Amino acid sequence: MGRRFFSIFLGFCLIGWSWVLAPAPAVAMGGTQPPIGSPAPEFTLPTNSGDGDVSLADFRNQWVVLYFYPRDFTSGCTIEAQRFQRDLADYQARHVQILGVSADSVDSHAEFCDAEGIEFPLLSDPNGQVSKAYGSWLGAASLRHTYIIDPDGILRAQFLGVRPVIHSKEVLATLDDLQAST
């Protein structure tokens, strides 16, 4: 009985491990992540700046840092936006457009940009349609995820579990590596 039980137990363990080790789509809190090396999900969203709508296609031939965040005026989101703004000249020198996305309204984004001196577009995704396409939606808010998209519209990097205080510098370092390899 003992030997047979052990054999059955070992068989279940091997089956379990093969399931754990099997390749699967990357999933993070918020949903399935779009695969690195694939075309970035296209979108058009209203914004607080410019002509009212921004599309990913507007930035073809340019690098894009697309970051999702939960809410305007919250501490982590404010720090993250401030750090991107502080480093904006470094992004511009690398020909990179920063785009922030949350479920907040265009009016909230305008107030937030005015209060914090944010000069890059913030996009309104109230139903989470774009956040869902990027696996960055949880209930009623976007999660703190960032994606780097190359000039051809291909996803080149993702950041999950972002730490707002150091995130902009991490993104710049990754951009340097990516741009040096192209």
Question: Where do we find the tokens 């209060």?
Answer: 115
Given a contact cutoff of 8 angstroms between Cβ atoms, the answer to whether 137 and 101 are in contact is no
Helix (H, G, I), strand (E, B) or coil at 67: strand
Catalytic residue, chosen from 45, 64, 66, 77, is: 77
Structure-token pair, residue 64: 């894009």
Within 10 angstroms of residue 99's Cβ, the number of other Cβ atoms is 22
Question: How far, in Å, CA of 76 to CA of 82, rounded?
Answer: 10
Question: How far, in Å, CA of 153 to CA of 90, rounded?
Answer: 21
Short-list 38, 27, 47, CA closest to 150: 38
Amino acid at 18: S
13: annotated active-site residue: no
Residues marked as catalytic: 77
